[in-house]
Structure 1
Amino acid sequence: MTKTAAIIGGGVIGGGWAARFLLMGWDVRVFDPDPEAERKIGEVLDNARRSLPGLSDVSMPNEGQLSYHDEISDAVSGASWVQESVPERLDLKQKVYAQLMEAVADDAIIGSSTSGFKPSELQEGLSRPGLVMVAHPFNPVYLLPVIELVPTAKNSPEIVARAKEILTEVGMKPIEIKKEMDAHVADRLLEAVWREALWLVSDGIATTEEIDDIMRFGFGLRWAQMGLFETYRVAGGEAGMKHFMAQFGPCLKWPWTKLMDVPDFTDELVDLIADQSDAQSGHMSIRELERTRDDNLVAMMRALKGRDWGAGALLNQQDKRLGQPVVDITKPITTLATAIPVDWLDYNGHMTESRYLDAFARSTDRFMEIIGCDADYIATGGSYFTAETHIRHIDEAHLGQRICVETQCLLGKGKKMHLFHSMYEGDRLLATGEQVFLHVSLETRRPSAPADHIEARLVEIAEAHAKLPGPEGVGRAIKVS
């Protein structure tokens, strides 16, 4: 059954929420009186459609239905999740919540994107305060998964658990903050770095670009995959965190920081920072910067995915939740369904040739799982090795396109397995990959007979596929005219 989310306020954050829910298969209803809201959200969606699917190695849900509404009551009708992302004015937010109380269902969850207000302030005076909690995201919401979930005692454990379940379902990482406080956790950490950075620019020690370079070429890379405390644990060496604390703890008393003070926000300081920022990246439009940011995030998160670490481990868990297509051996088997991510592209702007082999290799791995040659079986000492591969590049594939690979088993008997992969975008054939494999003993590294249940399943599929038309191009060699 399709689920519905309502987005109240369609700015940068609200648009990101709309994209996250919509691309994860939810219907999305938007309320925003801004006459430009549809255009602005449309531009956010364009960026999300080219980036978010690239994080998944399986087929994502079909996109939900998006609609815009002139009344809050219409937008929240039937919504199980309502996300408020109106400007950071408490009086405005409380006015919105008063209207929501008259319209939302008793089992709806109302999350606020506020970065500063406490949930108790949002709940004050409401008829059903237990529906409201802080669900503070990070920009871009459609890529960055962490959510600061801040409830109060008025939120039941059941509604908090359901909020976590929904956020997890759409690929996010909810972190329940144990006690409410101004600005929650992340923005307090960011504020500390921001204050120091303002002083460093104000005092003429470093420019905005130099400070950004120190972060992105230095500790920012460590933080991206280990965070703060795990990074410092490693810095402590074999003795661990206690050694690090003992060694560097006294530094906290040294007069390094101006953390509890900020430079005066004079016109001169504002102009200085703005001019340096313009010199640093003013040659790019905001949309170009957003796309560059998104491409870099996808590439880094996919790298972490390969290591099953940090944000990458979360993405692998999400792929498992999304699952694999149902296997029907009466037709070619869909062994891969994914979108082309940025790290699959070459200098010509289309899918690089090595990734075709990678895609077909993944398809083979999936086919091996289907016949029972999975990780558990391989651990017993048997597997299939590739003996020969022939790939035909037929049409171009570009960033964000959703592709699938259909696999036919042409031979499955004894030690041999012969597969033919066809890669499509919709009905458009992009490439084919023909491969021959030998079952091998991992102990002797020589061909060997597969286990009986492996061969039986392989023969079953091969016999079913023998009734299908033979794929065009089987046995094709390179033709030189």
Structure 2
Amino acid sequence: MADVKTVGLLGAGVIGGGWAARCLVNGYDVVLYDPDPEADRKVGEMLANARRAWGRMTQAPLPKEGRLTLVRTPAEAAEGADFIQESAPEREDLKIRLLAEASRAARKDVVFGSSTSGLLPTKLQSEMIAPERFTVGHPFNPVYLMPLVEVCGGAQTTLETKERAMAFYRTLGMHPLHVRKEIDGFIADRLMEALWREALWLVNDDVATVDEIDDAVRFGPGLRWAFMGTFLIYRIAGGEAGMRHFMAQFGPALKWPWTKLMDVPDLTDALIDKLADQSDAQAAAQAVGTDLRDLERLRDDCLVNVFQGLKARDFAYGADLAAFEKTLYDRAHAGAVAAEPDLSQPLKLHRPSVLPEWTDYNGHMTEYRYLQVFGDATDALLRLVGIDADYLATGRSCYTVETHICHIAEVRAGEPMTVATRVLAAEGKKLQLYHELFRDRDGTRLATAEHLLLHVDTKASKAAEPPAAIAERCKTIAAAQAHLPPPDKAGRAIKAS
């Protein structure tokens, strides 16, 4: 929501700290209440992980990081907030008390979300001032990275409240799921609970170890669940006849006494010891260690790789991520325009960093990533002159028809860089750009790229004159930079000598 600038958070545990990190990296100021004296340290460590994960997940320019303020009371966290998220321990009485206290301090129009994983929203809102502005916003760990947030209202919650909450969560790059009927555990936790109960029985009865059960998930159905869920996978399993054939073939098996979903083994000391010992052995055997932060970073890296793979297919969360990146680019473009850059100098519109997966066997950035970096810099310049997502939707664009890249110096993983862009010529359908890539640490020039672009009518699939406003902006930049000395690498051709 455009009107949200400050987020009030109640609770800074694993979930609340994750909310803080996600909000901060997305540019929101956070006012946080938690009585834990270690809250500042714990949130700081989660924020460091969030920065690392988001830096790997997207090259889109993130907004300036928000400011974190810790306060001593729930009222202090609520009184200046534009959105409030409660993430206290899963105790109904505690949550009711916190929400009631915070609601008395907050503005009457401020939406409240609760991170509860299963408590009914009707009960949680029961003692609030203006309870109609309360809804559940149930996230998943790590909150700073996982996209799903279940939104479920109580008896007094308005549809407008849920819509406003979902709009806010989308600004964080999340995927809100509207739970239309109030129910204990909502949707995802009920599904996870079924799997968890069966897993406990398999360990209790010595059918499988925790390692074997995890392998059954991560090498099997878990891979498909990441992008197609349960029903779409089973539809495919039904062949050409789809779900109807699948149910006819496998439906009778539902009556077989396979599972124990309505029962759970006694959590005896012996079973808990077995679970803990096997979990420790599992971590050691897979060489992932038992250090919490190392495990978190491994989990984050794997999630980011899955997200990026899905983005390449524009499917499942990959489609959400691609759409969210467009909003980040548009926001950055708006900021660049508002900042009124000095057009007489090379424009520094793109500041990438080298991701580990961008490097070759020598540890240097691979050749095709240079093209990606320069292509992103070209996109930044195009957005500056008005060729943004809205413009592309009209069926017009700029296509690169020729590129010349010079590789000058090596660059390694983790290196922050800056691209400086010049408009060498803007004549009719043609736009000639020149980029220089510099290493931020010492200003070393790493590479240059010269691009020739043509403005096109994408519907007609042919070159076309740009609108007067676009053409004028390009010419203005070219004229402003005309006094700069000719680039030393521009106009070069490959020579054998």
Provide TM-score, normalisation by structure 2: 0.84
Instruction: For residue 379 of structure 1, report the CA deviation from its aligned partner.
Output: 8.0
CA 1:464/1:427 → structure 2, altered by over 3 Å: closer, same or farther? farther
Measured after TM superposition, the shift of residue 406 of structure 1 is: 2.9
User: In 2, Cα distance between the equivalents of 1:468 and 1:200?
Assistant: 72
**Which one-letter code corresponds to 2:311 in the other structure?**
K
Give the structure 1 partner of residue 375 of structure 2. 361
Q: 285, 302, 308: which is aligned to 1:302?
A: 308
Q: Secondary structure at the match of 1:453?
A: coil
8 A contact 2:120–2:154 mirrored in 1: no
Quote how far apart the aligned CAs of 1:233 are.
1.7
Aligned partner of 1:451 in structure 2 is 464
Query: How far has the Cα of 1:418 moved from its partner?
Result: 4.7
Between 69-78 and 287-296, report the one with greater CA deviation: 69-78
In structure 1, the gaps of 5 or more residues are 443-448
Contact 2:358 2:369 in 1 (8 A): yes
Amino-acid identity (%): 45
1:389 corresponds to which of 405, 417, 430:
405
Q: 1:4 aligns with which of 3, 6, 9?
A: 6
- Write out per-residue CA displacement over residues 161-198 of structure 1, whole angstroms, 9 at most, x where no aligned residue: 21111111222111111111111111110011111111
Aligned to 2:318: 312
| Residue correspondence of structure 1 range 151-170 to structure 2 within 5 A | 151-170=153-172
Task: Verify: 1:466 aligned to 2:482, yes or no.
Answer: yes
Shift of 1:143: 0.8
Match of 1:59, SS state, is coil
2:279 pairs, out of 277, 280, 300, with 277
TM-aligned CA deviation for residue 432 of structure 1: 2.5
Instruction: Tell me which of 223, 226, 244 is aligned to 1:224.
Output: 226
- SS of equivalent residue, structure 1 residue 273: helix
Aligned letter for 2:25?
A: L
**Aligned partner (choices 180, 183, 206) of residue 181 of structure 1:** 183
Which of 233, 241, 250 is residue 239 of structure 1 equivalent to? 241
Structure 1 CA distance, aligned partners of 2:125 and 2:429? 67
5 Å matches for 1:260-271?
Answer: 260-271=262-273
Partner of 2:47: 45
Contact 1:109 1:131 in 2 (8 A): yes
User: Residues 332, 379 of structure 1: CA spacing in aligned structure 2 closer, same or farther, 3 A cutoff?
Assistant: same
SS at match of 1:406: strand
Change (3 A) 1:476 1:384: closer
1:143 aligned counterpart, secondary structure: coil
Of 210, 213, 233 in structure 1, the residue corresponding to residue 212 of structure 2 is 210
How far is 1:122 from its partner?
Answer: 0.8
Structure 2 CA distance for aligned equivalents of residues 347 and 67 of structure 1: 43
The 1-side partners of 2:147 and 2:258 are apart by 33
Pick closer, same or farther for the CA change 1:126–1:387 going to 2, 3 Å. closer
Q: Distance in 2 between matches of 1:177 and 1:94?
A: 21
Q: Is the 8 A contact 2:115 2:136 kept in 1?
A: yes
Q: CA RMSD in A?
A: 3.5
- 1:366 CA drift (Å): 5.2
The reply on whether 1:433 has 2:448 as its aligned counterpart is yes
Name the CA shift for 1:125/1:383 in 2 (closer, same or farther; >3 Å): closer
User: What SS class does the counterpart of residue 102 from structure 1 fall into?
Assistant: helix
Whether the aligned pair in 2 keeps the contact of 1:60 and 1:338 (CA below 8 Å) is no
Contact 2:283 2:290 in 1 (8 A): yes
Judged with a 3 Å threshold, the aligned counterparts in structure 2 of structure 1 residues 368 and 156 are, in CA distance, closer, same or farther, namely: closer
Report if aligned partners of 1:350, 1:398 keep a CA contact under 8 Å in 2: no
Equivalent position amino acid for 1:206 in 2 = A
Alignment match, 1:103? 105
Q: How does 1:78-157 map to 2 (within 5 A)?
A: 78-157=80-159
Structure 1 counterpart SS, 2:466? helix
TM-score (norm 1): 0.87
- Note if contact 1:388-1:437 (Cα within 8 Å) is conserved in structure 2: no
- Given the superposition, is the C-alpha separation of residues 240 and 61 from structure 1 closer, same or farther in structure 2, using an over 3 Å criterion? same
Deviation at 1:208, TM superposition (A): 1.3
Q: CA deviation at 1:223?
A: 0.8
How much has 1:295 moved relative to structure 2? Answer: 1.0
Q: Which shows bigger deviation, 367-376 or 352-361?
A: 367-376
- Alignment partners' CA distance in 2, 1:151 and 1:21: 22
1:356-377 alpha-carbon deviations (Å, 9 max, x no partner)? 2321133345556759699969
- Residue 226 and residue 76 in structure 1: after superposition, are their counterparts in 2 closer, same or farther (change >3 A)? same
Shift of 1:280: 1.1
User: Is contact 2:356-2:414 (8 Å) kept?
Assistant: no
- Tell me the distance in 2 between the aligned counterparts of 1:158 and 1:440: 43
**Shift, 1:381, TM fit:** 12
Can you list the C-alpha shifts for 1:331-368, whole angstroms capped at 9, x where unaligned?
Answer: 43455455555543556766545422321133345556
Matched-pair contact (CA < 8 Å) for 1:409–1:461: yes
Comparing 288-297 with 156-165, greater Cα deviation is found at 156-165
In the alignment, the residues of structure 2 paired with residue 204 and residue 320 of structure 1 have an alpha-carbon distance, to the nearest angstrom, of 50
Give 1:56 deviation, angstroms.
3.0
Counterpart AA for 1:149: V
- Amino acid aligned to 1:384: T
Kindly indicate whether the alpha-carbon contact (under 8 Å) linking 1:151 and 1:160 is maintained by their aligned counterparts in 2. yes
Q: Which amino acid aligns with 2:185?
A: A
Aligned residues: 475
By how many angstroms is 1:423 displaced?
3.2
